[in-house]
Structure 1
């Protein structure tokens, strides 16, 4: 009986740790036209209110656009034929743990900084196929041409 309890405790703690690792980092606020979110092997058509998770690939088609609000109030707006991945998002201000990083593979992106950028701007970075930049401002527009 003790062994069964110990096993269930171990599996329960493991599941709780896994759930915290997969907590949403934001939500979809707006969808126009064609947009897709790839979550691992799963591909979904986002709806307003859909969760965004770390390492999701967010893309839009020729008629598409998507608006995302992250848990620190950062807002991202992707234009047509765009693709990005948020590969770092840490928002634990009480523990002084902050960080945000994304890769924009192609297209247009409008970025409005949230609390991470306001509190720790040196912890915000954006990568493209040709460069990585540190963000010190609160708002920018980025256009990335597809790699040929």
Structure 2
């Protein structure tokens, strides 16, 4: 095989692999999206993979993200299972785990409240999988069995 006929095949293979990687990366991110920012006041950021991202209404939140508010700032989130979460000023929480199957309503939820005020109205994950739903603080861990609650960490 001479190099003239082999080179286009190499380019075609490289192009195909590039497209596959881009599509796979996009699909992977789409699957990891847990919810969306519905309301935001002041300065709010998401820390994702060690990088700080400014938050706007419509920004996505994924499992593994940490959400931080500054002084005089608040944020409201809606997860795929219809859970609603809000953070008050000077607050920080990490969405450690979130999984939700829209067909079976099975899933899991683990939130760590690091500091500040966190409120939640639980959705389908808590309703259908209470044993798989937890809130952690620096000093305690609580299973979620109810529908509405507030956690404050000094």
TM-score range, shorter chain: 0.7 to 0.9
| 1:67 paired residue number | 76
1:73-123 deviations in Å (ceiling 9; x for gaps): 100010011000101111014356411111110000110001111111221
Which residue is 1:27 aligned to?
36
Q: Which runs of 5+ in 1 are unaligned?
A: none
- Check the 8 A contact 2:46/2:67 in 1, yes or no: yes
Cα distance in 2 between the residues matched to 1:93 and 1:39 = 25
Q: Write out the 4+ residue segments of structure 1 that deviate beyond 6 Å after TM superposition.
A: none
CA distance in 1, matches of 2:127, 2:105: 13
CA drift of 1:20 comes to: 4.2
Q: What TM-score comes out, normalization by structure 2 length?
A: 0.81
> Which residue number in structure 1 is paired with residue 53 of structure 2?
44
State the superposition RMSD in angstroms.
2.4
More displaced 10-residue stretch of structure 1: 73-82 or 41-50: 41-50
Relative to structure 1, the CA distance from residue 141 to residue 86 in structure 2 (aligned partners, 3 Å threshold; closer, same or farther) is same
Is structure 2 residue 112 aligned with structure 1 residue 126?
no
The residue correspondences of 1:1-148 to structure 2 (distance < 5 A) are: 8=16, 12=20, 18-23=25-30, 24-94=33-103, 97-145=106-154
Shift of 1:54: 1.3
Residue 129 to residue 17, structure 1, CA distance change in 2 (3 Å): farther
Contact 1:22 1:54 in 2 (8 A): no
TM-score, L = length of structure 1 = 0.84
Bigger radius of gyration: 2
